[in-house]
Amino acid sequence: MENDNRRKGSRVKLDVFVGETTGGRYFVPLAADLSEDGVLLEFPRGLDMPFCGDSIIEMSLPGIKHLVWARCKLLRREKRGFFETRALRFINIAPADRQKIRYFIHRRSGQA
């Protein structure tokens, strides 16, 4: 997709599993990086993930006590070898959950 769909904020590398509900099905992909605006998910190709525009994710960030929940919009899909990536933008997220992500990013990037 176009470059204007790419996240512009600070990103941090991440290796945590995320619960994702999309197309009425539940998957557990790996979150590869995170920003205040979205997340990049990776999963093995061949999982038959539906190509849906919206999904709901739940993730547990290291050092954060509560789960973060967000409704997301699919920005792009890419195939990379044996894996596929999905770039998701947060379109509906509680202010408290966005604050948890902001805190995590600042702490992880050494800005806290």
Give the pLDDT score at 96. 97
Give the pLDDT score at 9. 66
Domain positions in the chain? 3-107
**What count of Cα atoms within 13 Å lies in the side-chain half-sphere of residue 104?**
24
Token duo for residue 96 = 């408290």
Query: CATH second-level architecture of 3-107?
Result: Beta Barrel (2.40)
Q: In the chain, which residues have pLDDT < 50? A: 1-4, 112
Give pLDDT tens digits for 38-64.
Answer: 999 998 887 666 667 799 999 999 999
pTM: predicted TM-score of the whole model, two decimal places = 0.85
Return the ∠ at Cα 92 (arms to 17 and 10), rounded to 5°.
Answer: 60
